[in-house]
A and B are shown apart, each in its own frame.
Chain A
Amino acid sequence: MDITNLRARAIKEIESATDAKACEAARVRYLGRKEGELTEVLRGLSNMSIEEKRRIGTEANELKQELEALIEKKLGELSAGGAKRAHIDVTRPGKKVALGHEHPLTKIDAQVREIFSSMNFTVVEGPELEEEHYNFDALNIPADHPARDMWDTFWVKNEVSKKKMLMRTHTSPMQARYMEAHEAPFQIIVPGRTFRYEATDASHEINFYQVEGLVVGPDITLANFKYIIETFFKKFFGKDLEFRYRPSYFPFVEPGVELDIRLPGGKWLEVMGAGMVHRNVFDAVKYDYRKVQGFAFGMGLDRLAMIKYGIPDIRLFYSGDVRFTKQF
């Protein structure tokens, strides 16, 4: 095997190439994976004696690197020097590379999670098909309580057990589920899909998203709620936000409050219901209300997305229309 001869022929051929095609032909001839001359030499090494292997192997590998470098250099020269022939107009539009789009609710959800995570909250999720007990009874809303009318409920046919099942009307059932399984203190948020039996229109859907928050500890106060939630909304909407608090009623909190926000130059918008966890809720999960206290809040993600992106109709979120998703 005459490496020296091979080298001379290869270099000559590469040097004399006048375009990229000729250069490529030379590469295939000598370095081609299938029958390149130098490739064959390298392949043949396994049959040689150790002595030969060492000598020819080294030479051949060095030549391989040399030729590769030479081809690359030559190709570079050809494309630069041969500007007249292979001119690349860099002002032409870039190739259309596809990147998928996230649903706007995914984006809003991610922003909410990120802000709360940065404040040391743990994100948990819960079942959408829920037991009546967690959705209502454990939250101080017993059967036949007129307050149940606040939630129009989808009931589910349960063919496997006697338990009454429903599509959760809020993310609040996770309050009870989480406290049953964990000790205070903790800070959690629970984003998730919720359901209401109602006629759909531009601002109502049969399914939508909520984020529940729950902070419990020995001395968590209503003033703490204001701090956490104002911090959240300022990070989410910007610092020039105004807040308005109103008394409200939810059976699972006492006191109960409602929060409105106003963006600069805008109208007051209802964004959140909240309050201090009711002692009956603590009772239901075997917490001692004399030892712990805390706040809970719930807000609609769809509403936040509608406010932030100026989306006029909640039904767009569930339309499956890619023209909608592609905007975000």
Chain B
Amino acid sequence: MKFSYTLLKQFVPKLVGKAQTMDLLSTYSFEAEEAQGNTIEIKIPANRYSDASSHVGIARELSAALDVPLVLRNFKNLPFIEQKAKVAKSPKKYSVSVQDEKLCPRYSAQYFEHVKIGPSPKWLQSALTECGLRPINNVVDIMNYVMIETGQPLHAFDYDKLAGKGKPEIIVRRAKKGERITSIDGVKYPLGAEMLVIADPEKPLAIAGIKGGTGCEVTEMTTRILVEAANFDGVSIMKTSRKLGLTTDASQRFSHDISSSLAEAGLNRAAQALQSLAGALPGERYDSLAKPNPKKVLAFDIAACNKLLGASFSNAEAAGYLRRLGFKNVKKNLWEIPSERTDIETNEDLSEEVIRIYGIGKLKASAPHVPLMAPVANDLVTTKTLARNMLRGFGIDEVYNHTFISKDDIARGELWKGKAIALENPVSSEYEYLRQALAYSVAKNIDENFKYYDTVRIFEIGNTFLNDGKHTHERTHLCVALGAKNSETFFELKGIVIRMLEGLGVMDVTMKELPQNESSFFMESSLEVKSGNTLLGYLGFSRGSVSIAELDLEAIIKNAEGEREYEPLQKYPEVMRDISMFISLDTRIGDVMEAVQGENVKLITDVDLVDEYVDEAFSDKQSITLRVVFQAKDRTLTSDEIDREMKRIREMLASQFNAQTR
């Protein structure tokens, strides 16, 4: 919000410049930023609009920071004169009826006549300009000026343009269905039944608390006016303002639920200014609030304040800071809170006032006294670190991608079963869905990085989301991709996945080839990685030279074994036998190896592929050599025994795989 340094300086003559003012505000009150000329941009916190969206409010903050009294009387241009207008229950010149007291807790108005329209004085015009407002004429300018000075938005109606039976009637009501209003600046707004309007019996006059309409605005011809100083429900104003896409200086203030006491202060100030600057004669005032709001009195607990802050303020010292901000000590520890300070409700609120005026920077830092308890390790946190370290060791670089992906990305195919979750308000179609898998972006990364490298090895760890029809799932995944322009990468990736799973404690891993599927993310072949019955993830080609694996880290953690136990070292020798054979090109080597291993789970400790050869001369056959390792835990195996095993294997291979062993 824009503030005029010139005006602030008039309220707080001790100020010595914009820089000092901004510094004081930043240190003790609110963030302030440099703006052009005599303007200062101040960020008013959402809970401080009531007291601080005004020059008087900011001046109070500055005077508290400087420890000088705020004396409004001294304001030279438009001295503050205490004046109490008599409030008429039913004014003779006009009537007001508030039909929705929830949305309009207070409506006050005052009639003025003999108004002489003309330009407002230079100082007032420049104050407005410095706050980003355009001077128009003295009456409109006074309305705006009183708003920036006191924080209360006001509105002036041309009395002679208001309709009513016998006398103008002001009605505060909800808009009718289909009702429209044209604002002062000529824009037509369709209104809804949840919106509040100020109306006369014939037409809506203004969108309450937001903007005035045409037909009753003050013009050069105006001589009699009705000034409105009201208070509106913040939520309602905020919703209307959002719905209409119309934010004004008034709507900003009302949206933040400003104190209804401001209405009286604002109307008083406007009455004074209209008399001084427009020669107006004040008439009857109306106020829908019969009784003034009760004063807010809070007990201040200095011990609790010190305990919260870790400070040791004396009662007198703390009281001093509260007084500087205009809080009144009623008796003992009871404090009357200025009515516009709607943010002050608890002892913590009061403690904040004390510490910020003292200076948070001056509070002495001290070490906490806490019982020493070992931090609890979180499995997911540790697993991510472990996986990262392993992947780095395999020479793979880490990337981060956006959580959001596009419809086109999803169209590349499915990995985990489920529906992608969409954003209600995406920033663009590029980022419309929550990623179901990391592979979509990682695959793109490989392509993009091929511009600079022939080989790209990357991984990402991140959260993925999908909807399985019943529930929404958020899972942490790990995606590894290897791409080489000129060579195959799949088997290295397969090896990495196995080693990594082993490193993460998953020993029992099976990989099953998946049937080719149009809707699958993997264009060519792919494997399903499982441990027991748990799906850990997928591994496959995205295209010829790019292989991608994506694993569910949370599934991995569930299937990881704990600490290992010692097994006696093997005492008896290993015996290795190689077996070469021709098998059909369609036969899966993985299946053959698994079958060999399965022949004797006890004695065969490993089966490895040591040679493979494909030649046109073999027509539809391939030649492979497997190495079978035998070892017993309790004895040295004899040649006979192994020969018998090998014979069984050969027979099995011949019958199951139609293999010709050599």
Contacts and interface: CB of A to CB of B under 8 A. Distances in A.
Nearest to B369: A219
Contact of A293 (B47, B307, B421, B470): B307
Contacts, number: 252
Contact of A256 (B235, B309, B352, B419): B352
A201 interface: no
A6 to B, nearest CB: 20
Contacts of A145: 46
A221 B307 contact: yes
Contacts of A321: 399, 445, 448-449
Contacts of B402: 206-207, 318
Given A120-B375, A206-B431, A224-B366, A103 B463 contact: no
B368 to A, nearest CB: 4
A317 B380 CA distance: 23
Residue of A122, A150, A279 contacting most chain B CB atoms (<10 Å): A122
Interface string B354-369: 0110001101111111
B309 to A, nearest CB: 5
Contacts of B474: 127-129
Contacts of B449: 320-323
A117 interface: yes
Contacts of A198: 427
A318 B398 CA distance: 11
A293 B49 CA distance: 28
Contact of A230 (B234, B257, B365): B365
Interface in B24-80: 26-31, 45-49
Given A223-B365, A320-B444, A320-B449, A100 B352 contact: no
B370 A255 contact: no
Contact of B375 (A123, A193, A195, A244): A123
Contacts of A227: 365-368
B617 interface: no
Interface string B387-399: 0100111111111
B221 interface: no
Interface stretch (A18-26, A79-87, A157-165): A157-165
A149 B46 contact: yes
Contacts of B453: 322
A318 B30 contact: no
A122 B629 CA distance: 47
B interface, size bucket: 35 or more
Interface stretch (B271-279, B538-546, B584-592, B635-643): B635-643
Interface in A110-126: 110, 117, 120-125
Contact of B452 (A144, A320, A322): A322
B403 A220 contact: no
B576 interface: yes
Given A100-B391, A101-B397, A221 B368 contact: yes
Residue of B31, B307, B465, B472 contacting most chain A CB atoms (<10 Å): B472
A303 to B, nearest CB: 15
A46 B639 contact: yes
A247 B234 CA distance: 25
A27 to B, nearest CB: 18
A199 B360 contact: no
B348 A160 contact: no
Residue of B239, B348, B368 contacting most chain A CB atoms (<10 Å): B368
A223 B388 contact: no
Interface in B488-524: none
Nearest to A161: B472
A195 B431 CA distance: 12
B467 interface: yes
A198 B356 CA distance: 32
Contacts of A256: 352
The binding surface of chain A is classed by DSSP as: mixed
B256 interface: yes
Contacts of A103: 398-400
Nearest to B311: A223
A326 interface: yes
B100 interface: no
A320 B401 contact: yes
B121 interface: no
A217 B352 contact: no
Contacts of A320: 399-401, 441-442, 444-445, 448-449, 458
A22 B427 CA distance: 71
Contact of A129 (B45, B47, B257, B472): B472
Interface string A299-325: 000000000000000000110111101
Contact of B46 (A102, A144, A146, A278): A146
B363 A197 contact: no
Contacts of A97: 395
A220 B404 CA distance: 39
Nearest to B355: A255
Interface string A213-246: 0010101111110111010000000000001111
Nearest to A117: B375
Interface string A147-176: 101100011111110000101000000000
B471 to A, nearest CB: 6
A260 to B, nearest CB: 9
- The 3 A-B pairs at the shortest CB distance, nearest first, are namely A221-B310, A223-B310, A98-B395
Interface of A: 33, 43, 46-47, 97-103, 105-106, 110, 117, 120-125, 127-129, 144-147, 149-150, 154-160, 165, 167, 185-187, 193, 195, 197-200, 206-207, 215, 217, 219-224, 226-228, 230, 243-249, 251, 254-258, 276, 278-279, 293, 317-318, 320-323, 325-326
28 contacts: A46-B636, A46-B638, A98-B457, A124-B381, A129-B421, A146-B46, A150-B46, A155-B424, A159-B467, A185-B371, A193-B403, A199-B427, A206-B427, A206-B431, A217-B368, A222-B309, A222-B311, A224-B366, A226-B363, A227-B365, A227-B367, A243-B361, A247-B29, A255-B352, A258-B31, A293-B308, A321-B399, A322-B456
Interface of B: 26-31, 45-49, 234-235, 238-239, 255-257, 307-311, 346, 348-349, 351-352, 355-356, 360-361, 363-373, 375-376, 378, 380-381, 385, 388, 391-404, 419, 421-427, 431, 434, 441-442, 444-445, 448-449, 452-453, 456-459, 462-463, 465, 467, 469-472, 474, 576, 636-639
